[in-house]
A and B are shown apart, each in its own frame.
Chain A
Amino acid sequence: MIAAHYPALQIALPLIAAPLCVLLRRGTWAWLVTVAVSWTALYVSVQLLLQVLASGPISYELGGWAAPWGIEYRVDSVNAFVLLIVSGISAISAPYAYKSVIHEIPEHQHYLFYSAYLLCLTGLLGIVITGDAFNVFVFLEISSLSSYVLISLGKDRKAVTAAYQYLVMGTIGATFFLIGVGLIYAMTGTLNMADIANRIDQVQNTRTVLAAFAFITVGLGLKLALFPLHLWLPNAYAYAPSVVTVFLAATATKVAIYTMLRFVFTLFGTDFALDVTLLAEFLMALALVGVFAASITAIFQNNIKRMLAYSSVAQVGYMMLGVSFFSVTGLTGGIVHLFNHAMMKGALFMALGAIFFRVGSVHIDRIRGLGKQMPFTMFAFVIGGLSLIGIPLTVGFISKWYLILAALERGWWPIAGLVLLSSLLAIVYVWRVVEVAYFRDPPTNHPKVTEAPLSLLVPTWILVLANIYFGVDTTLTVGVADTAAKVLLGLGQ
């Protein structure tokens, strides 16, 4: 019985738990609620994915109102996979949060932190699961508003300005998206995504639909930090509390990319995007420039968190590069990189959070000699870094493999060469950290540090091992991504 209501539970549980945390007013209790809800959400999303793989897309009528009028939750293999990424990262970072939050956030704000965290989770899951275009905007704002709050809780005062900057740019992006949805509604008279997809063919050559397409892609481009609309991201990630960086870096941009895929492929349709607009050419150019510009900027950062934030902008570039091929292999590469990047950046930011917990800084001068003092944390960072570069036997290799394959399939070997070349830039910035941590002596004017506590190490290592496991056994990730790519291109269920 309850299995039929999984789509609603996925959203309702964290949504109800958020005000519950405020009522509890105790940090520890709120944390317990957060962990329980995150793991339940993971269980639900695994069940949803299994159901979808076994018996095709699920349509859930919220409140019993039939589809074009009521809000429909629609789960197919594309968003079931993204739901799994979001809830999986939340389930791993919630246990990690306990000690990290005690260390970084004043005690009287703990319960409010967990409340905002759950609201952010609600918003992200909601964007992914809903089948209603306006509902996407509502959930987008729920997740955005709570993430502005989460970012502003960082210890450094720059966190507040970073949150403010993100608020301004994020609101502009969301409002652009809202304008686009309004224009689509004006032309099709419906907000249900499947309904829009059916009706948009008749009006696709009007200027209004073109304007809607432009507003939506630019608005979502801001949210997903597509170069050159990424300016909010480096500071927001660098100064947010460690857990927030882990959670947002691994989920927020992925969800925005999913929304972009859903609107471009399912709503507007591949033919429209390819023939009427120049989206493929634009995306490919911006993705490649973004990969190089962000990777080169990352090399010159002395704050390691900021360095990884720039690297995230570059990784978004890889995902969009995969999308811009508009082929099954390319999309598979892009979608599988959503998952893989969540694994590697989650592991890397968790290791950095553990370093911050012991050292109190993530400046490159302060990690000298940490390879001996925090061996497990630093080794986790090294494997995460290797995965970021794309060494075989890690998930990073799988993503790059499919991107290069997609480029060669089209005969565009210079692009394959550029992907390889950009990996060399990743080697440079990862090596800078490794060199300082392993081959320099620890500073003498600071107290000796010890290994991070187990509650931080265990989640970090779960993600590190996931990096290796999914780098060897790709049946789940590539299998689902391949199905998802075919669904998006309209080649199958």
Chain B
Amino acid sequence: MDFFLGHYNYWIFIFLMMLGFYVVVARGNLVKKIIGLNIFQASVFLLYISIGKVLGGTAPIIIDGYGTDPVIYSNPLPHVLILTAIVVGVATTALGLSLVVRINEAYGTIEEDEISEMDREP
């Protein structure tokens, strides 16, 4: 039981990852797919932040008076990495949505099955 409760953030990560992945695979609406993709990417942020957390650790900021003491602090590197990944996620979502706009202009629909129906004609 401790294993489940003690790692609850990892369980949320797995849940969100599978949820996002499911939406990408199962939904036919192109906008919903992008939203699913976004949830899928966001779940990874949670994984990285969880890795960086040290139990009982403080924020990794050097303040006078604390500087020389051996304070326990969370690992800041995963946070920095995830900042980059967030930027990538925003760029992917923006590009994906703008492609959906172009698809809507060209086909008049954003439903996957209707688009493949229109493409099937020679």
Contact = CB atoms under 8 A, between A and B. Distances in A.
A152 B99 contact: yes
Could you say which of B34, B44, B92 has the most chain A C-beta atoms within 10 Å of its C-beta? B92
Interface in B97-115: 99-100, 102-103, 106-107, 115
Contacts of A178: 44, 85
A182 B45 CA distance: 10
B108 to A, nearest CB: 11
B48 interface: yes
A138 B102 contact: no
A179 B92 contact: no
A161 B119 contact: yes
B102 A152 contact: yes
| 7 smallest beta-carbon distances between A and B, as pairs | A157-B106, A186-B51, A141-B88, A164-B99, A160-B102, A160-B103, A182-B48
Interface in B26-54: 30, 33-34, 37, 40-41, 44, 47-48, 51
Interface in B9-67: 17, 21, 24, 30, 33-34, 37, 40-41, 44, 47-48, 51
A403 to B, nearest CB: 35
A229 to B, nearest CB: 14
A164 B100 contact: yes
Interface in A155-190: 157-158, 160-161, 163-164, 167-168, 171-172, 175, 178-179, 182, 185-186
B86 to A, nearest CB: 12
Interface of B: 17, 21, 24, 30, 33-34, 37, 40-41, 44, 47-48, 51, 77-78, 81, 84-85, 88, 91-92, 95-96, 99-100, 102-103, 106-107, 115, 119
Contact of B41 (A160, A171, A182): A171
B106 to A, nearest CB: 4
Interface string A136-151: 0110010001001100
Nearest to A138: B84
Given A145-B88, A163-B99, A164-B100, 12 more contacts: A137-B85, A152-B99, A152-B102, A158-B119, A164-B99, A167-B92, A167-B95, A167-B99, A168-B24, A171-B40, A175-B44, A185-B78
6 contacts: A134-B81, A145-B92, A157-B107, A163-B99, A164-B103, A185-B77
A238 B37 CA distance: 25
B119 A168 contact: no
B88 A138 contact: yes
Contacts of B84: 134, 138
Contacts of B119: 158, 161
A138 B102 CA distance: 26
Interface string A321-347: 000000000000000000000000000
Nearest to B103: A160
A182 B103 contact: no
Interface of A: 134, 137-138, 141, 145, 148-149, 152, 157-158, 160-161, 163-164, 167-168, 171-172, 175, 178-179, 182, 185-186, 191
Contacts of A152: 99, 102
A148 B103 contact: no
A149 B115 contact: no
A191 B78 CA distance: 11
Contact of B33 (A148, A168, A185): A168
A201 B77 CA distance: 23
A145 B95 CA distance: 8
Given A138-B88, A157-B106, A182-B44, A148 B99 contact: yes
Nearest to A151: B99
Given A141-B92, A172-B37, A164 B30 contact: yes
Contact of A168 (B37, B44, B51): B37
Contacts of B77: 185, 191
A137 B81 CA distance: 10
Contact of B99 (A160, A175, A185, A191): A160
Given A134-B81, A145-B92, A182 B99 contact: no
Contacts of A163: 99
A45 B44 CA distance: 35
A157 B99 CA distance: 11
B28 to A, nearest CB: 12
Nearest to B75: A189
A185 B92 CA distance: 24
A182 B88 CA distance: 16
B102 to A, nearest CB: 5
B112 to A, nearest CB: 9
Nearest to B81: A134
A148 B88 CA distance: 14
A160 B84 CA distance: 27
Contacts of B81: 134
Nearest to A69: B77
Nearest to B33: A168
Contacts of A172: 21, 24, 37, 40
Given A134-B81, A160-B106, A161-B115, A149 B44 contact: no
